[in-house]
Structure 1
Amino acid sequence: MENLSDRKKRFIMLAIMSAMLFASLNQTIIGTALPKIISDLGGMHLYSWVFTIFMLASSVTAVLVGKLSDLYGRKPFILIGIGVFSVGSMMCGFSNTIIQLIIYRGIQGFGAGMIMSTAFTVVGDLFSPRERGKWQGIMSSVFGLSSVLGPTFGGWIVDHSDWHWIFWVFLPFGAVAFLMIWKLFPYWQRGVPQAVDYMGSILITLTIIPLLLAFTWGGNEYGWGSVPIISLLAGTAIFFVCFMIVERKVKNPVLPLHLFKNGVFTISNFLGFLLGAGMFGTIMYMPMFIQGVMGASATKSGMFMMSMTLSMVAASAIIGQLITKTGKYKLFALSGLFIMGGGTFLLSILSFDASGLRVISNLIIVGIGLGIAFPIFMLTIQNAVSHDYLGVATASAQLFRQMGGTIGVAIMGTFLNYSMKAHLASGAKLSLGPLNMPSGLRKKILQIQDPQILMDHSRLSKLLVSIPPEYKQPVGQLVVSVREALDYGLTHVFMIDTIIILCAALLTAFFLKEIPLRTSNQPARPSRER
């Protein structure tokens, strides 16, 4: 495909970016709308699962499809991915409970894994590593554009209409993307079809699922030293060992272990893992700060988050051009990570009375750093392996980045819940302990201790209006206490975010080797991976 005409390549990229825009719009639109959805459906303790199940499903699917697309071509998988994602989006809109929403988000995740894995692989099929810098920047800009439009539309819809529409409004994009790829994308198969590594696929799935469950439930549903968590971690270890044994023996492993002998491939995947944790931690928890702590509407939250995504779009487009022009990437990666780390640190010291301008300026800093760093590690991975392993290498980058996002958000959620519970306990006692009030009224007032009510401003207003005058002052103190508790918990979240990103910067400085970007997909000498 590298030898296709420039015109043909541009049309194919237009089709691929349409599919990517469809998937990422539906992924990002939920950010600002989720607090309202949780308030309607309930299940604050399952807040992170709406995100976690999506990332889990897409992570597993991405690595499986990566290998299959190396064997059978990219086109069938991206078309199936669009179809599955569309069905999942439609079903999400019909959710009546938080459990239903989580299940349907998992279906979305399966489709998204297929789309994202094949989309970034196609860039590698069409362009040499030296040319990919520009196109990776453009692809990241598409994701950034969806991050602007998605939260903005999501906030507007939940403020002015029914939240169910956030899952339906972009379905026409899916239909257009499907037709474009069906028409424009050439059928292409790499070599003779070979046996599929079914056992390896099952074992890597059984390794990932209990690992994610352990990090999601640990510190929330169960203590870290409890039998369920220890059992899940033990299961992860057992299945991982079995996976390693199987992958060493099969002819076509789903994730070839010899790729990890390549230092650039290994460190780039780990850096992608850390970047995923930092990126999704900010995307998921910053709307909670804006809506729950600052008391802003979902629409305003989307506008605030737009500042981060617009700066990310601009930085990604510029850095992609610079990488293609210079052939260098390490200094750019370092700069992006340090800038992003500085931005997340500024987020960690925000208080509930922070001005909107200060929040926006901090988010812009995070966006610039993220936009610089985001496209680079995918490029270094693709450049480090032979073209025969392009699909599985690209999928591994997706897997590690999404696993980082899933585990990172779960860990941050654990710290958030723990911090808030400790802060709320003393706050509730201080505000209501000395008062002598009817038990029914006390039970009603203590609903305010649930942080999700802070994100539903109309519900909070109705509750406050119904409070008798003699109790309004202590109830007002309780609301302030809950806001402070949420602020206190989010401070820990963004501080963890900062530590993760700065660790990634140090690892980049000392362990990421900069190798020249190839000017062709055909290696000049036999690949080390063979």
Structure 2
Amino acid sequence: MESSQSVGAWRELGSHFGTVVVLAGGVLVGAVNIYLAASLLPTVVADIGGERLYAWNMTVFLVAQVVATVLVNRVLSRRGNIVSYLIGFGVFATGSALCAMSPVMPVLLVGRGAQGFGAGLLTGLGFALIRSVLPRHLWARGSALISAMFGLGNFVGPALGGFFAQFGSWRPAFVVLALASGAMAAFVPRVLSRGSRAEAEAAPVPIGSLLLVVGAAGAVSIAGLLSNQAVMAAFIAVALALIVAFFRTEKCRGRVRVLPHPTYQAGSALRWIYLTMAFLASGVAVETFLPLFSQRLGGLPPVAAGFFGAALSLGWSASQVVSSSARRERTLRWLQVAGPGLLAAGLAVLALLQQRDASLLGAITWLPVLLLGGTGIGLAMPHLSVAAMASTADEQEGEKAAAAIATVLTMSTAFGAALAGLLVNVGGPSMVNSARWLLFGFAAVSALGVPTALRANHLTRSAEVRREDEVEPTAESDAPLD
């Protein structure tokens, strides 16, 4: 007989309204900021200069975000729930205010770094606290709602940024972010408990692992800017070597790790769960170039092209609200495998549809394909998040596994952005070739999530069978003798 999970109703999640608003709102302000800043940057450069440092805006933000997500457990263990959130919102608001006042680009980059650090803390805290502030049967709903904030940010960010850019006033946009962050911070003490982890021992910072991750992402980013193929290949080789060194360093260390200890235990499904999430999340990087392809190849106006760029996130956000209602174990396992397969199929079909001077009807056909690809992310992501949270019975390791979800997603975004630039550069100067290299490349990356999801399901099921076998002899020994 197939087992099923208890899944609470959305109405029940509403009974935790204040808590959910803080958790989801923290993720949302960071997600909105990514796309808002991207849409404002041309206006910013026209005002204060710094075109040569244009690309560093996203790099600085993402690196700071990765570092902050790694520090989430340390901040929680030392400061507790409320103070940790106040630090996150405070740093983000300070960074936003600094961006609003920036007279030159280097000052803006400092503000972007502070924004990234605050956003990383808020994203990590959102996933970390699901496990401790919500009952077990609401984890899937909570994960779906928080993950949906990334997709919602893809709509609100460009809309808000475009509104201010239309009038040439970019500074008020950052002021709005600072005020929104301050308002959320005022809400925190009213809805969150201080938590029981304030007296826990704080884990050291894994500086070596962090440097390897940042170095690998930087090497891929540099490779994407080069035209000499030999030098490009050398930087890619360096990136791969740094990634290998990262995993070896993580595996050999004691408790100073970026990812929790069960990730490296033999027979643990957690590493495969994280890999599947990484392959899914990295696919969103294609959104950066979809508006460009929609305008250059499909002849769409900027407003319509921007919507095409957000279609992947729309499919992601909408589908996971529905997907989070699934409860049968077999269905959950199927969704985790089908998700990356659907994303890979959508990107591959979209690559085949790319052509120069596409007709309006041809361009419109891209939209359902993008929605379908995004649906693949939404089908799998909530259940992968719950699987990561439930991967260990140890309470502390479980909380670390939950917090590490944000680290995995952030690292995947950073590497995905770097890889996207590399693939577009390889396909150039032809726009059609660039589009196909990008889409086929990420279709292949997404497809890797199918075998990793299958492996995660197999190990999870094996662990469940072992636990059942261990319980049965105990039950028999406790039975009364006739």
TM-score calculated relative to the size of structure 2: 0.80
- The answer for unaligned runs of 5 or more in structure 1 is 424-484, 519-524
RMSD, aligned α-carbons = 3.6
Aligned to 1:144: 151
CA drift of 1:178 comes to 0.6
CA drift of 1:82 comes to 0.9
Aligned to 2:340: 337
- Counterpart of 1:137, as a letter, is A
Aligned to 2:396: 388
Q: Contact 1:336 / 1:370 at 8 angstroms: preserved in 2?
A: yes
State the Cα deviation string for residues 120-179 of structure 1 (Å, max 9, x = none): 111111234432112212222333222222222333433344344443333332122111
- Counterpart of 1:509, as a letter, is L
Q: Give yes or no for the alignment of 1:308 onto 2:312.
A: yes
Q: Give yes or no for the alignment of 1:286 onto 2:231.
A: no
The match for 1:350 among 338, 348, 354 is 354
State the Cα deviation string for residues 174-227 of structure 1 (Å, max 9, x = none): 1221111122211113274325414xx32222222222221111252582465x
Q: Matched residues in 1 for 2:50 and 2:13: separation? A: 51
Q: Matched residues in 2 for 1:44 and 1:362: separation? A: 35
Q: Matched residues in 1 for 2:291 and 2:46: separation? A: 14
Question: Which has the larger displacement, 45-54 or 201-210?
Answer: 45-54
CA, structure 1 residues 105+16, in 2 after alignment: closer, same or farther (shift >3 Å)? same
CA drift of 1:93 comes to 3.8
Q: Matched residues in 2 for 1:269 and 1:357: separation? A: 34
SS at match of 2:324: helix
- Counterpart of 1:417, as a letter, is N
- Counterpart of 1:395, as a letter, is A
**Equivalent residues in 2 for 1:388-467 (5 A)?**
388-420=396-428, 423=429
CA drift of 1:88 comes to 1.8
CA, structure 1 residues 353+129, in 2 after alignment: closer, same or farther (shift >3 Å)? farther
State the Cα deviation string for residues 480-513 of structure 1 (Å, max 9, x = none): xxxxx23321221111111111121232234433
**Equivalent residues in 2 for 1:77-476 (5 A)?**
77-95=84-102, 100-190=107-197, 192-198=199-205, 201-221=206-226, 223-224=231-232, 245=252, 247-248=253-254, 255-261=259-265, 263-279=268-284, 281-294=285-298, 296-323=300-327, 328-348=331-351, 349-354=353-358, 355=360, 356-385=363-392, 386-420=394-428, 423=429
Q: Matched residues in 2 for 1:37 and 1:347: separation? A: 33
- Counterpart of 2:159, as a letter, is T
CA, structure 1 residues 100+76, in 2 after alignment: closer, same or farther (shift >3 Å)? same
Question: Which has the larger displacement, 35-44 or 365-374?
Answer: 35-44
Q: Contact 2:69 / 2:120 at 8 angstroms: preserved in 1?
A: yes
Q: Matched residues in 2 for 1:509 and 1:159: separation? A: 48
Q: Matched residues in 2 for 1:407 and 1:504: separation? A: 16
The match for 1:508 among 453, 457, 465 is 453
Q: Matched residues in 2 for 1:94 and 1:352: separation? A: 43
SS at match of 2:200: coil
Larger radius of gyration: 1
Q: Contact 1:81 / 1:112 at 8 angstroms: preserved in 2?
A: yes
- Counterpart of 1:264, as a letter, is A
Q: Matched residues in 2 for 1:172 and 1:366: separation? A: 35
Q: Matched residues in 2 for 1:140 and 1:241: separation? A: 30
Q: Contact 2:420 / 2:438 at 8 angstroms: preserved in 1?
A: yes
CA, structure 1 residues 169+68, in 2 after alignment: closer, same or farther (shift >3 Å)? closer
Q: Contact 1:215 / 1:410 at 8 angstroms: preserved in 2?
A: yes
- The answer for unaligned runs of 5 or more in structure 2 is 1-11, 464-469, 472-482
CA, structure 1 residues 37+205, in 2 after alignment: closer, same or farther (shift >3 Å)? same
Aligned to 1:437: none
- Counterpart of 2:277, as a letter, is G
Q: Matched residues in 2 for 1:307 and 1:230: separation? A: 34
Q: Matched residues in 1 for 2:236 and 2:317: separation? A: 40
CA drift of 1:102 comes to 4.2
State the Cα deviation string for residues 236-290 of structure 1 (Å, max 9, x = none): 7777766655x32x6x7664434421521110111122122112x1222212323
